[in-house]
Amino acid sequence: MAFVLDCSVTLSWLLPDERDAATDALIDDLERATGVVPAIWPYEVANALLVAQRRARIDDDDLTRVRGALAALPIEVEAVAGNDVLSTVCDLGRRLDLTSYDAAYVELAMRRRLPLATLDARLRKACTALKIEVLP
């Protein structure tokens, strides 16, 4: 089964102090499933890793290791047309009081009819309102 993967879950896999059993189970699911992400995901993950490095949560070796680990995962980055962002994503963000970045994950889950893997409380609440399955 495929699922939409957000940055919060991804970081829980990569940063030692954010690991937990529920998100570890999701990474195990990637052995037989695909993580689907919107085009914003690589930028969000890269920024979070840079911030983690600047705050001394990870070092240069860790950064190299986690980039390699991410590249090995079956993650499909889905490009989005500009019109989709300006219409559907913007409308969802306005209606659900989400940033456009967060609305991109919700839009992708809705359009592809996939569950959304997130630890973010606002995204979980938005998915519940739209009857989108939330993982973990």
Q: Which residue has the tokens 């990474």?
A: 27
Q: How far apart are the first and last CA of the chain?
A: 14
Number of domains in the chain: 1
Domain of 113, CATH number, reads 3.40.50.1010
Question: Can the peptide bond before residue 42 be classed as cis, meaning omega within 30 degrees of 0?
Answer: no
- Cα(90)–Cα(100) distance, rounded to whole angstroms? 6
R_g (Cα) of the chain, nearest Å:
15
Q: What is the pLDDT along the chain (136 residues), one digit of tens a residue?
A: 899 999 999 999 999 888 899 999 999 999 899 999 999 999 999 999 999 999 999 999 999 999 999 999 999 999 877 777 779 999 999 999 999 999 999 999 999 999 999 999 999 999 999 999 999 9
Q: Give me the domain span that covers residue 91.
A: 3-135
Overall pTM > 0.75: yes
Q: Using an 8 Å Cβ cutoff, are 33 and 3 in contact?
A: yes
- Determine the 3-state secondary structure of 10 from DSSP: helix
